[in-house]
Amino acid sequence: MAKEVTGYINLIIPAGKANPSPPIGPALGQHGVNIMEFCKAFNARTEKSEPGMPTPVVITVFKDRSFEFITKKAPNTYYIKKLTKLTSGSKTPGKGEPVATVRKSQLRELAKDKIVDMNAKDLDGATRIMEGSARSMGIEVVEG
């Protein structure tokens, strides 16, 4: 018999750096989940990831206050900033000069890795999503 689900919690936590402080503690505490147990499990699962990489996590809380969680790939903007060596995108995207330039082939490589977490039917759709993320950051996308 399946356990009864009482809620889902969506958070973005730096890889290997989960601790009971906000936002993790309050989010888990209001559902009655053992916070330290989650922190230890999350840090163990993300120890091989790049330290500090923002990691989206979906926590499923059950009626008996137990939990399961799945981790996803970092947001598109994280990978694009890493590729272009930027600390942030443009303050005024679409106006003025672009802050960087990327090739479609580079974005396609990122999309290959990220497609499992994207809402895309195929690699071309995932690439277009990555292009849109880059443009919204004020980065010019060129052919090649």
Distances (CA, A) of 137 to 5, 76, 133: 37, 11, 6
pLDDT over 80 at 105, yes or no = yes
33 in Cβ contact with 18 (< 8 Å): no
Domain 76-142 has CATH 1.10.10.250: yes
pLDDT for res 1: 60
Q: CB within 8 A of 46, min separation 6: which ones?
A: 15, 16, 18, 53, 55, 71
Class at the top of the CATH hierarchy for domain 5-71: alpha beta
Q: Are 115 and 80 in contact (CB under 8 A)?
A: no
User: How would residue 89 be classed by pLDDT, with cut points 50, 70 and 90?
Assistant: confident
Q: Give the pTM.
A: 0.86
The phi, psi pair for 58, rounded to 5°, reads -115, 115
For the chain, residues classed under CATH 1.10.10.250 are: 76-142
**What is the average per-residue pLDDT within 92-119?**
91
Residue range(s) of every CATH 3.30.1550.10 domain in the chain: 5-71
Cα 55 to Cα 45: distance, rounded to the nearest angstrom: 11
Helix (H) or strand (E) holding 8: strand 5-14
Q: Is the pLDDT of residue 122 over 70?
A: yes
